[in-house]
Structure 1
Amino acid sequence: MVQDDLFGYPDVTCLAGIDEAGRGPLAGPVFAAAVILHPMRPIEGLADSKTLSANRREQLAALIRERAQAWCIACASVEEIDALNILQATLLAMRRACAGLAIRPDHVLVDGNQLPKGLPCPAQAIVKGDARVAEISAASILAKTARDADCLVLHRCYPDYGFDRHKGYGTALHLERLRLHGPCAAHRRSFAPVKRFFS
């Protein structure tokens, strides 16, 4: 992973990585995580969460929570997504995750090409950072596993929709269940496949 030069910030001693999970689904909150790794407690196998199996993500998430100097998982609600739009809600969740860190970082690296406003220190957006920066990889794993756990909660609350299987994404199964049952309270009304039920 590219990280030794901290992308042009060699004097940084406390670096946080931030990533999100759940921008694309039709239901549920969008999650974000911020992680400051411990230099003396390395974690082998960190990678973009999308390239890892569910079991491996869970194993690594446990190690991150155990070994990181600081970590925080936050979200923006369905109501906030519909009120703000998904991009602004995602940036809000990222800002909340950073604010929730027990240690204030010197610098923040954020996956993608946009930065949340109001971060407590200098920040840089890194395209495909979840595959390039260990801190962002760790954040992507925490955000993804938190969102997957939330989908299991949604499944228990709304078993007709199959959230345990499609995780809220607009799969054929999900769209079929939407046609059969209509949206539930967890659906994002501003997303086109759901919005048509309210027009």
Structure 2
Amino acid sequence: MSVRHALLALLSEGPKYGLQLRQEFEARTGEVWPLNVGQVYSTMQRLERDGLVEADPDEPAQPGPQRTYRITEAGDAELSAWLRTPPQGDAPPRDELLIKVLVALRLPGVDLPAMLQAHRTHTIGQMRQYTRLKEDAADDLALLLIADAQLYRLESVVRWLDAAQSRLRDHSPEPSSPAPGRQEQPHRHGAAR
């Protein structure tokens, strides 16, 4: 998510001070993504440095809670370009769950099917929470859009976990039969031998 561009969007409505930007950002995003006030000020400093916003010249040069910012023409152009440009999808984003599964594939003693099922169960629980949120926020369009986006994202995670489980089954080696005269030792994941 581009905090930089979201702050430019808020400033396109008129001048605002730092604390006000933080409060409006959180209100507009359904308070799902808390924003640290220090992040607002550091972002505003970069935007000012890049000529995309300007501070009221009659106020102190140091950022502070009452320093008023306004968007510049260059900021308007940047905001407009950002709104029209689809997000980059060249390389997949780092996904902790995918990394966890890829690492677990090579770890001895990991019960990967059980791990996938635990994540699936947790994700379905999250989906239930967002479904309840939608029911409770029937009149809050921003919250409904956030809940819909999360539900679609979580649904895709469940589908991927199902596909991973299926691939794991397809690629699991067949159990070999013991050589004649030898008794096969039971294999227990994670158990000491």
The two structures share one fold, judged by TM-score above 0.5: no
Q: Comparing both chains, which one has the higher relative contact order based on Cα–Cα distances under 8 Å and sequence gaps of 6 or more?
A: 1
Q: Which has the higher helix share?
A: 2
Q: Which has the higher strand share?
A: 1
TM-score, length-normalised on structure 2? 0.24
- Tell me which structure has the larger Cα radius of gyration: 2
TM-score, length-normalised on structure 1? 0.23
